[in-house]
Amino acid sequence: MEYRVEITDVALAEVEDAYLWIIEQVSAESAEKWIDGLTEAIESLNKSPSRCSFAPENEVFPEEIRQLLYGKGRGTYRIIFTVSEPIVRILHVRHALRQSLEP
């Protein structure tokens, strides 16, 4: 089954903020590589999104919350999403070191 991937406005804003931060702190080239890889990771959720682990927040929300980790080391981001066949909804794209979500 192929899923349709939808990205919330909140997640888009978080991606933009991270992208701009990488441009300012690292380089425009690094930011382009980061966003290209992030886009590819998000698009991969159209197939088998249940392959991803439950997010730590899963226990405190009424619906299943999953995550896909993107990046390495200190540059790891969490793509946080729900699955409601046939839709994968990206809720947040957050740096892995940020505090967990709350209901």
Query: Can the peptide bond before residue 56 be classed as cis, meaning omega within 30 degrees of 0?
Result: no
Query: What is the per-residue pLDDT for 103?
Result: 59
88: containing domain:
4-95
100 found inside a domain: no
For residues 20 and 3, what is the distance between their CA atoms, to the nearest angstrom?
29
What are 43-102's pLDDT values in tens digits? 999 999 999 999 998 888 888 999 999 999 888 999 999 999 899 999 999 998 776 666
Question: Total domain count for the chain?
Answer: 1
Question: Does 37 reside within a domain?
Answer: yes
The tens digit of pLDDT for each residue in 25-46 reads 999 999 999 999 999 999 999 9
Residue 79, domain member (yes or no): yes
CATH number at residue 91: 3.30.2310.20
Residue 6 CA to residue 9 CA, distance in Å, equals: 10
